[in-house]
Structure 1
Amino acid sequence: MPSTAAALPLRAGAWAEIPVLAAFRGLAKVMLAAFIFFACFAFSETSPYDVIALPTMALWLALGVRLHRGVMPLVGLLLLYLVAIGTSLMPYLAEPFPVTWTIQLVYLVLTSIMFAMIFSDDTESRMELALKAYTVSCVFSAFLGLIGYLQILGIEDLFYKYDRASGTFQDPNVFGSFLTLGALYLMHRLLTGTTRRPVMAFVALLIILAGIFLSFSRGSWGGTVVATGVMILSVYRTSASARLRRRIVALSLVTLAIGIVAVIGLLSIDQVHKMFEARASVTQDYDEGETGRFGNQLRGMALLLEMPFGMGPMHWRLIFKLEPHNSYIGSFANGGWLGGATFIVLVLATAFIGFRLMSRDTPFRAHAQIVWPALMMFFLQAVQIDIEKWRHVYMMLGMVWGLEAARLHWLSRRGHSAEDGNEHLTPY
């Protein structure tokens, strides 16, 4: 009988066995890790992150990434936000700065959608790769920030600004907040006992926490504390093991005690003590008065009530000579009522799926317990700082929605498996 093997179509999975494609898939993972690592380079408007972004996204698209239905709400909201921004931009197309700002926003939105698509499949492996690369990036930047703050190499101006550690960032506030996700990843692995090198992980965590403290960013301090608390509470509540719960409590108390001792030690340094006193106050000089941050916000909100299309991208600064320092107000100023409403819906929708991912028993809960508290911190910080152009925020946004798409796909497959199993049951 003639063989029919040659007539059979090649299995889809067999393509992965072709050496050239396997090499390209390996290259794609390396480029993804590099893409994420370079997020820490923010010395200027353009960074290595932006240089590697397009070839990385192009390679992943060529190899095949899918747009799952779980990502569609994110895509819809981000595109609607861009429509609102574009509409508000129309009267100012002759002005280069608003146009450039809008183009950069489009690029960041595309990266967020791309991250969501990448993390929708092979989720656990890709998320672990991404979080490792991000954490290495945090340790690298925090270490340089410490070198700059201690002024031990004579190059402190690169990593030290306004008497505060800034690492590889222009702004110490962005630097401090960037480090939070790396700290959460290491803390989660230490608490759950999933790290293979606990001593190395603990040392890396101390470096990152020192970077956060020496950034003297009030938002980063508070955000890290809140995000850590949310993560620990979630891990504790979802743990079925009494032994693991005891471990979580014990390690949390030990870490807290070490942190307090470390802070006291740092405050014994006169330079650190003076800066801590200056930064620990609830408000700064630039916050107060009619033309301060809060005064501008109150006057601006009154104006925006009469401006359905907003002030136009980046026009708040032309009116008030300062940024709004509030992304919620900024979204109304840059994109009008539609832009502001869309931004708020995006935050609320992401919060809903973020907390759901943390509470449901799925293979993706552990990563959600790390990523969502970090992103939640940025949404909270958005009340007192402008996060619209922070590259890593769009990365985390894509991560959370990618986890949600993976969860829905996992539930769908479980449902089909249960149905297939029931079909083979013979009733008595």
Structure 2
Amino acid sequence: MSTIDAHHPVAFRPQIAVLTLFGSAMVAFGVFLSGFVMSEPAPYELLMVLQVAVWFLLGLKISRAVAPLLALLLTFNVGGILSLTVMKDLGTGPMYLAVSTFLALTSVFYAAIIEHRHQRLRLIFQAWVAAAIITGLLGILGYFHAFPGAEAFTLYDRAKGAFQDPNVFGPFLIAPALYLMHGLLTGKLSSAPLRVAGLLIIALGVFLSFSRAAWALFLFSAVALVFILLLKERTGAFRLKILLLSLAAVVLLVVAVVIALQFEQVRNLFLDRTTLVKEYDGGHLGRFARHRIGFLMMMENPLGIGPMVFSQIFPEDEHNIWLKSLTSYGWLGFVSYVAMMVWTLTIGFRFLLRDRPWQPYLMIAWIVIIGHVIIGNVIDTDHWRHFYLLLGIVWGCGALEWRHQRALRRSPLPA
């Protein structure tokens, strides 16, 4: 958890090693807790506030490769602070921006600890998978009322697991699903049964969330993962293996969905949710009408209108991350958010196919972030904890590549 000075006596190295292992375990535990947010502040916030402070006090540094992320996120939140100045009643605005600033710091924290030690990526994803399987099981059991009080894990007859909203629960499960899929497609067949079992639980959780955004995100991410693996791997045998396993996975998922549709409750809600444009989407002051009116309104409000104010003017929230950045963070926040997303996607694209130990984790996080950018047109991803984790992963891997290239430049040329 602290930087190691090469001039320290050897006697201190075991203590540093213990601190490093303990710190890595706490990072994994924090990621695990991100899957259990039924009230705020959640245990995740309490642990991460303490952990971020301790890590930086003990010497965790922000490198030049991670500094732009910090600058963009701080600028984004400065825009939010400026939006408070136009609010007649501050209400919950300051607390909303406090949460935004905290999440921004967690993103920078994840990037810094990943750059410090890339082996933490595996711990992060393993903890994420464990959280996804447990919260996914809670959502499934809750949906079918498997035990007394199980309805606590549902909302509006939709599975939400240990989350407050099915629309956050579903997307939270996508990155762990891709991690299991990647292991299934590239790993040993001996571990396939466990990965298949975990993937089925997570996929059923996504399905029972009845979140159209989560369904689209899952489909897009799975197809993109297979496509990139086929692009990356050159051998015909490996490509055949990926195609066959992908086909088998699709068949299993289809069978699982068909079995779930045998329940009348599931079938009725599925038919309702598969309607592309519902009344609250295309009706008077529906989602799309609010988007159009909101963007026109923001052209006359460079400082925004303040957090949570949009829902006081219209029947519901923005349900659009771009409009949300304008209303709650003003033009300054919007520009910094767009710049951050473009920069993040550029990092992933540049380093996506390079043969590095951290390449699979970068690939998964980059794919899921692209998916979040797409669904951000119909949903608000502003305070999604796992989204800031994904940002940290991509920027951390970018920082690792920066360090790797710098080390190559400094190394002596071969004779």
| TM-score category, normalised to shorter length | over 0.9
Q: Shift of residue 337 of structure 1?
A: 1.5
Alpha-carbon distance in structure 2 between the residues aligned to 1:137 and 1:239 = 30
1:267 aligned to 2:253? Answer: no
Of 195-204 and 232-241, the range deviating more from structure 2: 195-204
Q: Is the 8 A contact 2:34 2:44 kept in 1?
A: yes
Q: Shift of residue 93 of structure 1?
A: 8.2
Q: Shift of residue 192 of structure 1?
A: 0.4
1:25 aligned to 2:17? Answer: no
Q: Shift of residue 283 of structure 1?
A: 1.9
Q: Shift of residue 58 of structure 1?
A: 2.8
Q: Corresponding residue for 2:84? A: 89
Q: Corresponding residue for 1:396? A: 390
Aligned length: 411
1:121 aligned to 2:113? Answer: no
1:102 aligned to 2:97? Answer: yes
Q: Is the 8 A contact 1:183 1:208 kept in 2?
A: yes
Q: Corresponding residue for 1:211? A: 205
Q: Is the 8 A contact 1:42 1:170 kept in 2?
A: yes
1:35 corresponds, among 5, 8, 30, to 30
Alignment of 1:23-422 (within 5 A): 23-92=18-87, 95-123=90-118, 125-193=119-187, 197-417=191-411, 420-422=412-414
Q: Is the 8 A contact 1:15 1:21 kept in 2?
A: no
Could you list the per-position Cα deviations for residues 23-53 of structure 1 after superposition, in whole angstroms to 9, with x for gaps in the alignment?
A: 2222211211110000011111211101111
User: Aligned AA for 1:329?
Assistant: L
Alpha-carbon distance in structure 2 between the residues aligned to 1:109 and 1:292 = 31
- CA, structure 1 residues 230+16, in 2 after alignment: closer, same or farther (shift >3 Å)? farther
Could you list the per-position Cα deviations for residues 344-379 of structure 1 after superposition, in whole angstroms to 9, with x for gaps in the alignment?
A: 111111111122222333332211121111222222
User: Aligned AA for 2:351?
Assistant: L
Q: Is the 8 A contact 2:84 2:90 kept in 1?
A: no
Could you list the per-position Cα deviations for residues 94-134 of structure 1 after superposition, in whole angstroms to 9, with x for gaps in the alignment?
A: 623111111111111111111111111221x1100100001
Runs of at least 5 residues in structure 2 that lack an aligned partner in the other structure: none
- CA, structure 1 residues 272+319, in 2 after alignment: closer, same or farther (shift >3 Å)? same
Alpha-carbon distance in structure 1 between the residues aligned to 2:145 and 2:263 = 14
Q: Corresponding residue for 1:7? A: none
Q: Shift of residue 55 of structure 1?
A: 2.2
- CA, structure 1 residues 230+307, in 2 after alignment: closer, same or farther (shift >3 Å)? same
User: Aligned AA for 1:187?
Assistant: M
Q: Is the 8 A contact 1:175 1:215 kept in 2?
A: yes
Q: Shift of residue 327 of structure 1?
A: 0.7
Alpha-carbon distance in structure 2 between the residues aligned to 1:195 and 1:49 = 35
Alpha-carbon distance in structure 1 between the residues aligned to 2:89 and 2:275 = 42
Aligned residue for 1:18, secondary structure, equals helix
Q: Is the 8 A contact 2:87 2:305 kept in 1?
A: no
Q: Shift of residue 336 of structure 1?
A: 1.5
Of 32-41 and 261-270, the range deviating more from structure 2: 261-270
Alpha-carbon distance in structure 1 between the residues aligned to 2:220 and 2:258 = 21
Alpha-carbon distance in structure 2 between the residues aligned to 1:331 and 1:243 = 47
Alpha-carbon distance in structure 2 between the residues aligned to 1:131 and 1:27 = 17
Alpha-carbon distance in structure 2 between the residues aligned to 1:16 and 1:98 = 51
Aligned-residue RMSD, C-alpha: 1.8
Q: Is the 8 A contact 2:114 2:393 kept in 1?
A: yes
Could you list the per-position Cα deviations for residues 60-103 of structure 1 after superposition, in whole angstroms to 9, with x for gaps in the alignment?
A: 22443221221122112111111211111123386231111111
Alpha-carbon distance in structure 2 between the residues aligned to 1:95 and 1:52 = 28
Q: Shift of residue 288 of structure 1?
A: 2.5
- CA, structure 1 residues 407+336, in 2 after alignment: closer, same or farther (shift >3 Å)? same
Q: Shift of residue 286 of structure 1?
A: 1.6
Q: Shift of residue 304 of structure 1?
A: 1.0
Q: Is the 8 A contact 1:32 1:130 kept in 2?
A: yes
Alpha-carbon distance in structure 1 between the residues aligned to 2:188 and 2:126 = 13
Aligned residue for 2:116, secondary structure, equals coil
- CA, structure 1 residues 246+262, in 2 after alignment: closer, same or farther (shift >3 Å)? same
Aligned residue for 1:69, secondary structure, equals coil
Q: Is the 8 A contact 2:80 2:330 kept in 1?
A: yes
Alpha-carbon distance in structure 1 between the residues aligned to 2:182 and 2:110 = 22
Alpha-carbon distance in structure 1 between the residues aligned to 2:43 and 2:286 = 35
Of 336-345 and 398-407, the range deviating more from structure 2: 336-345
- CA, structure 1 residues 217+188, in 2 after alignment: closer, same or farther (shift >3 Å)? same
What stretches of structure 1 move > 6 A for 4+ residues in a row? none
Of 180-189 and 82-91, the range deviating more from structure 2: 82-91
Q: Is the 8 A contact 2:139 2:160 kept in 1?
A: yes
User: Aligned AA for 1:397?
Assistant: L
Alpha-carbon distance in structure 1 between the residues aligned to 2:261 and 2:202 = 17
Could you list the per-position Cα deviations for residues 304-338 of structure 1 after superposition, in whole angstroms to 9, with x for gaps in the alignment?
A: 11111111222211211311000101101112222
Q: Corresponding residue for 1:4? A: none
Aligned residue for 2:62, secondary structure, equals coil
Aligned residue for 1:44, secondary structure, equals coil
Alpha-carbon distance in structure 2 between the residues aligned to 1:394 and 1:15 = 37
Could you list the per-position Cα deviations for residues 378-402 of structure 1 after superposition, in whole angstroms to 9, with x for gaps in the alignment?
A: 2211111111111111111111100
Aligned residue for 2:133, secondary structure, equals helix
